[in-house]
Amino acid sequence: MRSGQRVAVFGAYGHTGRFVVAELVERGFVPVLSGRDADRLKALAYETGLDARPAMVEDPDSLDGALAGTAAVINCAGPFASTTAPVIEAALRAGIPYLDVAAELEANIDTFAHFADRARDAGAVIVPAMAFFGGLGDLLATAAMGDWTEADEAHIAYALSSWHPTAGTRLSGAVSRERRGERRMRYTGGGWEYRTDAPPALDWRFPEPIGPRAVIGEFTMADVVTVPSHLSVPDVTTYMTVEAVRDIGAPNTPTPVAADESGRSDQTFLVDAVVRLGGTERRAVARGQDIYAVTAPLVVEALARVLTGRTRTVGVAAAGEIFDATDFLRALFPHITLELLQ
């Protein structure tokens, strides 16, 4: 890979976007800062010494200008229901790969539905949800599958020490709730089901030292879009520890606070992915710190692999489909530690 490749980052000044910009610089790329807020872009450009190119999703010409001369684009700007399609269109016009960190279910479903055929026919690469939610769980489930070609069910359980949401997380959640109303979504029997009852409360036995914890079942995250997009698993369920659900649901929960020089918060996570076939169970476990900060090495590692041809397919593809899942996860050390139990 050539040093100094230019990579557009749309939403560069956001909480996650800043982590992505820093990771790109650390990996030898040259970020091109972009987004809708010209003043925030100008401030970030002054701080980093990087080129800033304001762009509006309603203005294709401005997006084309933002992507001109770049090798790829990473979309970090939510709500992704508004930004995903216009930035993908710009990437297709520019003939460059597109990656995003979208956690919104509907935005990810739309990306697979609306761009799969066009991207495949064009030989383009579009990697949605290449983030903590969506990408990491998908990689873990794929790694846990190993040599299995199908499974009866997949379960991905999240143990977060806390969940202090960013303003972007709150806004994206509000957009998703507006789209689906009072309904919640679950993936069962090979398709989506909309429900109006409360999700189940139960216990999940996480690996030690966490052990059994109360969780909310059917707390549907982006992994429930990515996993069945390429794995033959008819039932996919995600779970979240009760404390994290309370944090994200409370209107007065503060935003993340930096606990070290990198800007990471002191939040820790464990992600437990379990796949089952008949009476056999396989498991992959990831541990790390700060779900927003860890998205940066996830998406930048994906970018590096796309740009060096270490991919398995073209078109719209989830992380576990386009990359060697186990190799990818091991490459994330020390940001993420991996344990495979098969």
**Are residue 140 and residue 278 in the same domain, yes or no?**
yes
Are 165 and 208 found together in one domain? yes
Residue 206 resides in a domain: yes
pLDDT reported for residue 2: 54
- Give strand pairing partners of 42: none
Q: Number of helices (H) and strands (E), helices first, in the chain?
A: 12, 16
The span from the CA of 65 to the CA of 54, in Å, is: 9
116 and 12 in a single domain? The answer is yes
Q: Which residues, other chains included, contact 99 with Cβ-Cβ below 8 Å and sequence gap of 6+?
A: 72, 73, 74, 75, 126, 127, 128, 130, 299, 302, 303, 306
Cβ 238 vs Cβ 136: under 8 Å = no
Same domain, 166 and 116: no
From its phi and psi, is residue 334 left (phi > 0), alpha (psi between -120 and 50) or beta?
A: alpha
Distance of alpha carbon 126 from alpha carbon 102, whole angstroms: 12
CATH code: domain of residue 202? 3.30.360
Name residue 238's beta-bridge partners. 156
- DSSP element (H, E) containing 328: helix 325-331
What Rg, from alpha-carbon coordinates, does the chain have? Answer: 19
Q: How many distinct structural domains can be found in the chain?
A: 2
CA dihedral 300, 304, 307, 308 (to 10 degrees): -170
Residue 159 lies in a domain: yes
Q: Examine the domain organization and report whether 123 and 189 are in the same domain.
A: no
What is the domain extent for residue 128?
6-132+295-322
155 assigned to some structural domain:
yes
Q: Where are the alpha helices (DSSP H) in 35-183?
A: 38-48, 60-67, 80-94, 105-122, 137-145, 167-180
Burial group, residue 172, by CB count within 10 angstroms (0-12, 13-18, 19+): buried
Same domain (yes/no): 73, 219 = no
Q: Are residues 151 and 261 in the same domain?
A: yes
Q: Which residue has the tokens 């091991």?
A: 330
User: Could you report the per-residue pLDDT of 68-82, keeping only the tens digit for each?
Assistant: 999 999 999 999 999
Q: Does residue 1 fall inside a structural domain?
A: no
Which tens digit of pLDDT belongs to each residue from 133-189? 999 999 999 999 999 999 999 999 999 999 999 999 999 988 888 888 889 999 999
Residues of the chain short of pLDDT 50, as ranges, are: 1
Cα 180 to Cα 88, 190, 219: the distances in Å are 23, 20, 15
Task: Give the pLDDT score at 181.
Answer: 84
> What are 175's two structure tokens?
């957009």
Q: Is residue 120 situated within a structural domain?
A: yes
User: 174: which residues sit within 8 A by CB, 6+ positions away?
Assistant: 79
CB of 285 closer than 8 Å to CB of 338: yes
Same domain, yes or no: 87 and 163: no
Instruction: Say yes or no: 179 and 246 in one domain.
Output: yes
70 assigned to some structural domain: yes
Identify the pLDDT of residue 173.
Answer: 87
Q: Which CATH number characterizes residue 67's domain?
A: 3.40.50.720
CA dist., res. 184 & res. 180, Å (int): 7
- Is position 177 within any domain? yes
Question: What are the tokens at 229?
Answer: 């997009």
Neighbours of 52 (CB within 10 A): 21
Q: Do 280 and 175 share a structural domain?
A: yes
Q: Does residue 214 share a domain with residue 111? A: no
Rounded to whole angstroms, the Cα distance separating 113 from 125 reads 15
Same-domain check for residues 256 and 163: yes
